[in-house]
A = this chain, B = another copy of it.
């Protein structure tokens, strides 16, 4: 049981056969999720599509939701992990976020994410995992860019970075989830520009 728990947190890497099975499961899951939505996908179906036993899946992921979460993370983490330094916070943020939003709008991810949020709101344990692994996976690199901008005195040291992150990611998730308007590059730029203009305004008030 202890070993199983550890594997849930940290799938074994570097073992070719396991890694192939893991990638196969995640790929099959992502494909099924995007075509059917979370509610319709079953572990049986994932096992069939990935060509593994259900026991193999449960060895790594205790629930469908935890598997779905990792399948999305795995899909998105093909982009380089350390985005280039463009010399400005605006440029750095756009270089980090734009590839992700382009990916988001290319496929029906909104439906899958909405289902994961519902589960996160229903099961507090999954909620903690969702926030730590999914929400933070996007916030932490952006937070690092803000820290760098503070270090080089581009933005005020007293900038509330957590609020700033919400002002950027909030509008993106809003269009993704509510689907009332498209998640265009221009919109992503507007969200970043507005969040950054907010600091300048706050600074000029003090």
Main secondary structure of the interface of A (DSSP, over half): helix
Which of A21-29, A67-75, A115-123 interfaces with chain B?
Answer: A115-123
Query: Which bucket holds chain A's interface residue count?
Result: 35 or more
Cβ–Cβ < 8 Å partners of A166 in chain B: 171, 174-175, 181, 187, 191
Asked if A169 contacts B174 (CB within 8 A), the reply is yes
Answer whether residue A31 sits at the interface, using C-beta atoms and an 8 A cutoff: no
| Mask: chain A, 32-44; 1 = CB below 8 Å from B; 0 = not | 0000010100000
What distance in Å separates the Cβ of A81 from its nearest Cβ neighbour in chain B? Answer: 22
**Which residues from 146 to 200 on chain A have a C-beta closer than 8 Å to any C-beta of chain B?**
160, 162-163, 166-167, 169-175, 177-181, 187, 190-191, 193-195, 197-198, 200
